[in-house]
Amino acid sequence: MHHLMKTFFSLTFVVFTLLSPRAFALEELDSIAIIVNDETISTQQIKKRFSDFKRQIQIQGQTPPPEESLKKQVIERMILDSIQLQLAKTQGIYIDDLSLNKALEKIASNNQSTLSDMRSMLQNQGINYTDFREQTRNDMIIQQLQQRIIAGLIKVSPQEIDIFLAQQKESGEAANDKYHLAHILIATPEAASPEDIQTAKAKAEQAIAYLEEGESFKDVALRFSDGRHALQGGDLEWRSAAELPPLFLNTARTLNNNQISQPLRSAGGFHILKLIDKKTQAHIVSQTLARHILIKTDEITDNESARKKLQEIKTRLSNGEKFSDLAAKFSQDPGSKNRGGDLGWAAEGTFVPRFTEVMNSLKNNQISEPFRSQFGWHIIQVLDRRKQDETEQRIRQKAERAIQNRKADEELQLWLRRARDEAYVDFKIKTAE
């Protein structure tokens, strides 16, 4: 249930939040309405979202921060969500009910549950299923918006990959090292004055003092952090070395498990890191050498005709004809036809699920019965299997993806800050009756 409640807020998608470094007064929060550009966040919405987050913190066994700190966190998240949903609407981004239902089924499956059982569990926890459903839709919309905006900004050159891998080799860092970090950000404005910097530094030092006194990192992050993972206790989860900004990576390399850094200065403010764990994953992968013959279906060849054709081919194979000859003659897979059906050495996950399932069920040199995938009808022969170190090309591909993720994270941080600064946000304070 703990994981399910966490999913209520993350919904297996990244829900981004960035606190404005500008403080604002909160008086009688339950009577506040907020205007965000052309839309309004109602008092009831604020109260409900605050209650939901507070319940989540309690279920996770964390000590809730002072209510004013948590309210600021929740309100800022709601403001950013509103800004992004409005922008998504202008760009025509919408999640239909079919896509939403598939996402909800995936959430239930990830929690070893059915959709019906998940609905009952949420209701037992006081969570309205309709609200949960619409929050899921909003999170999906926001994710699509962020991907659309950030994707075009991210480019990784071969030289960047070379430099990154060279730095790892020089430092003794494995290309597959991963870090589990927690993070506190004390943000400063883009054009921070000396007074802004001094104020942020003092706040960071105060946070360090609480940590040194034994207060948990999660509790201090909830109370102090302006980072977009603050409501998750600052947990950045597992990230590869390439996904971490150089400032974080260089510091993480010097920390022992559960050790906390001193405040680190960047253009965005002051950072405090905690190394929760570090691991090196082996790059040994299972590979299969197989070949196949594909017969596609169309207006002329229906499913039964394709199946019978492959059955005839299998009989000819049993009578001693060569697989490569029959593949070259009959297969309709242009990628492997001229190689006698040879698919080369392929790692797990290379092929579609149905093809992989049949391939994995075969012994060496065994030929499958005809079966259907989304591409047509196949027969497969497995020639060999092996355990193999990942190739240099694969390491470079993973490094490229990791660098892309790191750059996307940095660009998103900047974009969210600008979006928040440029939005019209008006806090309406009403007198309680």
Q: What is the pLDDT of residue 433?
A: 36
Q: Which two tokens stand for residue 115?
A: 């959709």
Q: What is the pLDDT of residue 432?
A: 36
Contact 31, 420 (CB under 8 A): no
Q: State the 10-residue block means of pLDDT for the chain, 433 residues long.
A: 45 37 42 83 87 77 78 89 94 91 89 88 83 92 90 85 78 70 92 91 95 94 90 91 87 93 93 92 80 92 93 95 95 92 90 94 96 94 86 74 86 89 82 35
Q: What is the pLDDT of residue 73?
A: 85
- Per residue, what are the HEC states of the chain? CHHHHHHHHHCCCCCCCCCCCCCCCCCCHHHEEEEECCEEECHHHHHHHHHHHHHHHHHCCCCCCCHHHHHHHHHHHHHHHHHHHHHHHHCCCCCCHHHHHHHHHHHHHHCCCCHHHHHHHHHHCCCCHHHHHHHHHHHHHHHHHHHHHHHCCCCCCHHHHHHHHHHHHHHCCCCCEEEEEEEEEEECCCCCCHHHHHHHHHHHHHHHHHHHCCCCHHHHHHHHCCCCCHHHCCEEEEEEHHHCCHHHHHHHCCCCCCCECCCEEECCEEEEEEEEEEEECCCEEEEEEEEEEEECCCCCCCHHHHHHHHHHHHHHHHCCCCHHHHHHHHCCCCCCHHHCCEEEEEECCCCCHHHHHHHHCCCCCCECCCEEECCEEEEEEEEEEEEEECCHHHHHHHHHHHHHHHHHHHHHHHHHHHHHHHCCEEEEECCCC
CA–CA gap between residue 117 and residue 119 (Å, rounded): 5
Q: What is the pLDDT of residue 405?
A: 86
- Measuring CA to CA, which residue among 349, 345, 356, 346 is closest to residue 378? 356
The alpha carbon of 59 is separated from its chain's Cα centroid by a whole number of angstroms, namely 23
CA–CA gap between residue 330 and residue 337 (Å, rounded): 8
Domains present along the chain, CATH in parentheses: 2-153+422-429 (1.10.4030.10), 176-282 (3.10.50.40), 284-389 (3.10.50.40)
Q: What is the pLDDT of residue 15?
A: 35
**pTM across the whole model:** 0.49
Contact 106, 7 (CB under 8 A): no
Q: What is the pLDDT of residue 370?
A: 96
Q: Which two tokens stand for residue 264?
A: 């680190």
CA–CA gap between residue 205 and residue 114 (Å, rounded): 47
Q: On the CB side of 64, how many CA atoms lie within 13 Å of its CA? A: 18
Q: What is the pLDDT of residue 7?
A: 45
